[in-house]
Structure formats: C-alpha cells, structure tokens
Chains A and B, each alone.
Chain A
C-alpha cells in the first residue's frame, strides 16, 4: 500500500491528464478511426459482405471510377443538393423571421414559442408517417387546405415526380425551422440594447438598424445553424425513407438512402465503402471550408 501511494505521488499532471482522456481516445479510435480506416481499405476491393466465401480481390481505384462515372449517382447528388438548398434557404429565412417576431414582447409569446418548437421534438420517422397521411390525395388535410384556396382537384404529392421533391422539402422545413429559429433567437437576445439606442439617437431607420446591427450580430448564429442543418440534411435518411421511400422512381432518393441500398441490400461492400468515402470527403471538405469562413465572420 505504501509503495502504491509513493508511486501515485510520482505521476505528473500531464500523465494524470492522459490517464483521464485515454479511455475516450481508445473508444474514439475503436469506434470512429478504425472503421474509417477499414472502410477506406475495403473501398479498394470487390468485397461482398454476404458472399464470405468469395475471394476478395484488390481492384485499385475501380470502385471510385465506377461511382464517379455513374450517371445515377450524380442524379442522387443532384436530388440531395436540391433538397439541401431549398430546406436550408427556407429554414434560414423563416427561422430568422420567426425569431424576429418572437423577440418582441407580446402576450402569449412563450406559449407561441413552445408551440412552434414542437415539430422538432418529434421522431423523424413518425413525422414521415403522418405527413404521408396528410399528403394523401383523397383524405389528406394538406390536399384539402391547398384545394380550399385554389381548386387543383386531386393531386398526388408523393406519387408525382414533380411534386415529391417539394413534398420532402416542405416536411423538413416544417420540422426543423424551429431549430434555426431558436438559434437565431439566442443571437438576437445577445445583442446589447444600447446599440439600438445609439442607432435611434443617430436617427437610423428600422431597416438600417436591421442591416447594420441585427444581421451582422446574428450572422455567426445563422452560420452555425446552417452548418448543423447542412450536415444533418446531407445524411438525411429516416424521414424521407418513411415518407417516400425514395420514390416515385428515384426522384427523392438521397445519397444516404442510395448508399444504404448499395451497402445493405445489394451488399456491394467494397463499392459502397468507396461511395461512403466519397461522401465523407465531400462533407468533410465542405465542413472545413465552412468552419474557416465562420471563424472569419466571428473575428470580424
């Protein structure tokens, strides 16, 4: 016992620090870094996880060439880009507008905030299922409301190749706008009141106050919301899977859904590893550039 005490006295602060973070590092290496390296290795092979008896051959960059040269993959990328562009744009615009509205003090403000925030508390799969009912062309509430304003007749949001991509944009916007709203609201509430008082003294108009005080102050928060939502929507799966299953045809099949099909339905493990690596590099690259831009905005 005495020996032990003496030994433990000898541990430096640095060593104790390492001792504390070692389990986390080991865990991260095991569940993040090792699978990543393994996937990269797999991506150069023709490995099929359901054909364990088949000889695994090294195919070099063949999987990468195949993926990048495949028109269908680029279509999925386009579908994902469409989904991301519109959901992020709408969520930022509506989220900021709602935050500006809720930043004012009025009766029922807190109740309204809580109500608006409710959709993001639901499970994406549940949201997918019940929006499927709302979109039903015969009995769906969505169809009824749209026809109430203008009689389009019966239209099938999920069965039409033109409407289905918008159907998923609407649902994601409905669900996640409250998130951007909350972040913007936090930004708005952090703006010191004296800035507006000074602007009033300088006879700045409301628009000028918005452009020169509100927007620059809230911009880092907006960019943060954009980053979170961007990453989330790039890997969107559950809600869209439940709502459209990627259909009609492949009009709403996002890259993550396509990757799942290749990996766990067709069991093309090598090929899908290459696919995953490409997606990882894309999101990692974009993410890095974005964080640098965000830091510059913050430093400004």
Chain B
C-alpha cells in the first residue's frame, strides 16, 4: 500500500509540473490522461473488502441487502459471488480443493462441514467464538448440530448457523377452500380436504387434483423433487424416507447400512414416493428441483409443491392476505421428520483476510442483526429471534419453520458426501423416474457403493 502511495504522489507531481511548466500540447495530454490515471489508482486505494460465496437464490439477495449495514458500520466492502444451485457444489468444492483464495467467507451446504473440517478448508472457530463471546447456546440446537459441528455433536465449530432451512410444502389454499371440491373430496375419502397430516393423506389429495379441470385449465397434483444432476431427488425422496423412520446406518455400528437403509419401512417409503411421482406429477416433471417446482406452482399447474422454506417469503409476497397459498411442514407417517436444508457461514482457510472475515461473522451473530436478517427474508437460527413472542405471527410459514427445525434430519455429512450422494441420486432416479428395477434393489445398490467409499477411507 505504501508503494502505491509513493507512486500516486510521484504521478501527481509529474502532472502538476507538466501542467505548470510544459508546452500547450503537454498540458492538454496531461489533462486528458489525468482522469484515466485517477480511475486506475482508485482501485488500488479503495477500502478493504471481503468476498462471500453462496448459491444464487432469494436469501442471497437478502444477505446483500443486510450486508450494506456491515459496510456502513465498518467500511469493509462486501463482494458477493453467487452460483446457480445446479453448479454450486461443483464450483465451491473445486475452489476449496484447489485451495483457492476467491472467497474469504463461504456459505457452505450442511453436508460439506465434514469435508471442510477434515480437509482443512474451514477455519476452526472455537477460539474466535470464545474471544468474542459468541455462544453457540444462543443458536438453535438443531442448527448448531447440523451446520457447525464436526465431528457431529462435538464442540468443534467450523461455521456459524446462517440460514436455517428444511423441506416443506406449499398448497393452493384457494382451491382447497372451494365448497364443491371439499364435498367431492369428503365423499370420496371420508375426511376433510385440508392440510394433510400424513403422507397417505397427501397422496389422496394430490391425486385428487391430478388432471382435474379448475377454471377451465387442467391442473395436476404436486411438483416433487426429481432432479438427477445435483441433489434434487435425494432431497425429495428422503422427505418420505425420514417420515417412515429411515436410518442411514446401524446406530451401534457406524457406517453399516445393510438392514437399516434398506429395511422394509424404507423400501415402502421409496415405493410411496414413486407412487406420488406417478400419480401426482405434471407431465415432464422428471428432472425438477427448486426452480421447476416454483414455476409449476406459480403458473397454476399444481396443487402442491415441495420446496425449501427459503422460497416461502417469495411465494407469500404476492399473496398478502394469505388466501391463495398455505404452507405446512413435511407430513408425518410413522414418525414426524423433515429433510434438512440450510447452511452455515465459514471462514475459508486459504483466505488472506481471515481476521476481517471473522469480523463479519461477529457482526452477523449479533441478535439485532439476526432479527433484521429474518425481517429481510433470511431464516435466522438465533434463539432470541425464534423465541420472540412475535415470531410466529411475523409470517404465515413461521410456525411451520419452527416445527420443522425441531424434527430435521440430514444426509451424510461425511467428508466424502459427494461420493455418497451420487449413487443415491443415480439409483433413486433410475427407480422412481425411470422405473428400472425395484426399490429394494436400488437401496441395495446404494449401500454397496457406500460401503466401497467407506472401505476406501478405512472406516469399514
């Protein structure tokens, strides 16, 4: 920086001399060139800055808005790089594996925490938290467990919970409220058309709407996650599997999935999800995730959409009196459970600005900032925000969010989670969408590939 100052001083002196003492032509050239030099060097003398990476979606825009306050307070400029969800993991994990310095702060998916910690990508934040008086007890236990700790449940923190999230459902309340549809549904199924309490009820309702003409347009049942390329179908089918009580591994014998992940209740759940896909999906919904589900719902094609809480502020925005859309947490079946989404914010170990990055986390952890985060459409995990008496009334989906965050379950958070995710995606898509083989066969294949991964890591 000192070199820059010296250089600027020298150039300014040369310019002044040229203007004062040079001939007319030199003066003109000097005056023309001066703004260019000023612009060039303005980039070198600008304030300190941080770069934050996340996925490109609504909450990221809210974070940009919120971060303006951080810049105003500290003078530290915030730069953002948001990557489309389909290439988010590829982009970010490649960056980390290559020890890239692009990001100072990374909002990483919950499943990355193991890899982030074990491979040294994330800075361990315990000392920083202790020094700054940031207590993990101030954040929802489920989110701290899911987004911050490695090994799971330990007191080693590699992230601050930034965005609480879970998979939930939105439904066309305005259609549900129609008396003729209500009476038809009741006469057919013997109970009221309303928020489904179980997956069985959800199937009854979505198949009730499948192919039905409403207001002269053919409608369909539900927009489900079926995407194959990244994590879509896994995040969808596990919503059913968790509700049927699925366990990834033997609780007494870690990494042993046989007899647990392919147990009869899990097979039943996968078959049920396939039935939902066949009986309720709109045509062509065979490779759909967040964006496609939102489109199918907002265009009036479907009665239900499964999606992340993160999108509900956007969905609810155009429906201020709450007449069109209702929201509910993942229905129960054998147990109540929901697929975990959401992310924590971590300091990238390869950054040259770790201290500045920690300053951002310190600022973000403040209760008043957390409240503003929620107000802007982000999902705070801070107990002060979630426990506030006004929280439930603050949004139509707030109660559902609270309920969901108490029952969340996540996919493997192992360092090798990508290797574990790929066979899950491939086999589930092959069975559910393509109809190849059987649910048991697909689950067995997945276990076989998982065992291979764990064996290569010496865990089995």
Instruction: Decide whether A and B are members of one complex.
Output: yes
* A interface, CB within 8 angstroms of B: 46, 49-51, 53, 136-138, 140, 154, 156, 158-159, 161, 244-251, 261, 264-268
Number of B positions contacting A (CB below 8 A): 26
Q: Is the CB of B284 within 8 A of A137?
A: yes
User: Residue B422 at the A interface, CB < 8 A?
Assistant: yes
- Please, which residues of chain A bring their CB within 8 A of the CB of B456? 46
Which candidate, B37-45, B74-82, B313-321, B433-441, is the interface stretch facing chain A? B433-441
User: Residue B201 at the A interface, CB < 8 A?
Assistant: no
Apart from A50-B93, A156-B284, what are 6 other A-B pairs with CB-CB below 8 Å?
A: A53-B119, A137-B284, A244-B287, A249-B430, A250-B426, A268-B419
Q: Is the CB of A248 within 8 A of B429?
A: yes
The chain A residue sitting closest to B456, CB to CB, is: A46
Q: Is the CB of A266 within 8 A of B419?
A: yes
A266 to B419, alpha carbons, bound, how many Å?
5
How far is the CB of A85 from the nearest CB of chain B, in Å? Answer: 21
* 24 chain-A/chain-B pairs, Cβ below 8 angstroms: A49-B97, A50-B97, A136-B284, A140-B284, A154-B283, A156-B286, A159-B285, A159-B286, A244-B287, A245-B228, A246-B228, A247-B286, A247-B287, A247-B429, A248-B228, A249-B433, A249-B434, A251-B430, A251-B434, A251-B436, A265-B418, A266-B419, A267-B419, A268-B419
A261 to B436, alpha carbons, bound, how many Å?
21
Choose among A137, A247, A261 the residue that contacts B434 (Cβ–Cβ < 8 A). A247
A166 to B228, alpha carbons, bound, how many Å?
19
How far is the CB of A209 from the nearest CB of chain B, in Å? Answer: 49
A271 to B232, alpha carbons, bound, how many Å?
26
Q: Is the CB of B418 within 8 A of A266?
A: yes
User: Residue B355 at the A interface, CB < 8 A?
Assistant: no
A50 to B116, alpha carbons, bound, how many Å?
11
* B interface, CB within 8 angstroms of A: 90, 93-94, 97, 119, 228-229, 282-287, 418-419, 422, 426-427, 429-431, 433-436, 456
How far is the CB of A36 from the nearest CB of chain B, in Å? Answer: 23
Q: Is the CB of A158 within 8 A of B284?
A: yes
Q: Is the CB of A249 within 8 A of B286?
A: no
- Please, which residues of chain A bring their CB within 8 A of the CB of B427? 249
Choose among B229, B287, B419 the residue that contacts A159 (Cβ–Cβ < 8 A). B287
Q: Is the CB of B284 within 8 A of A249?
A: no
A253 to B280, alpha carbons, bound, how many Å?
27
Q: Is the CB of B283 within 8 A of A137?
A: yes
- Please, which residues of chain B bring their CB within 8 A of the CB of A49? 97
A265 to B230, alpha carbons, bound, how many Å?
10
Q: Is the CB of A138 within 8 A of B282?
A: yes
- Please, which residues of chain B bring their CB within 8 A of the CB of A250? 426, 429-430
- Please, which residues of chain A bring their CB within 8 A of the CB of B119? 50-51, 53
How far is the CB of B273 from the nearest CB of chain A, in Å? Answer: 15
How far is the CB of B91 from the nearest CB of chain A, in Å? Answer: 12
A156 to B435, alpha carbons, bound, how many Å?
14
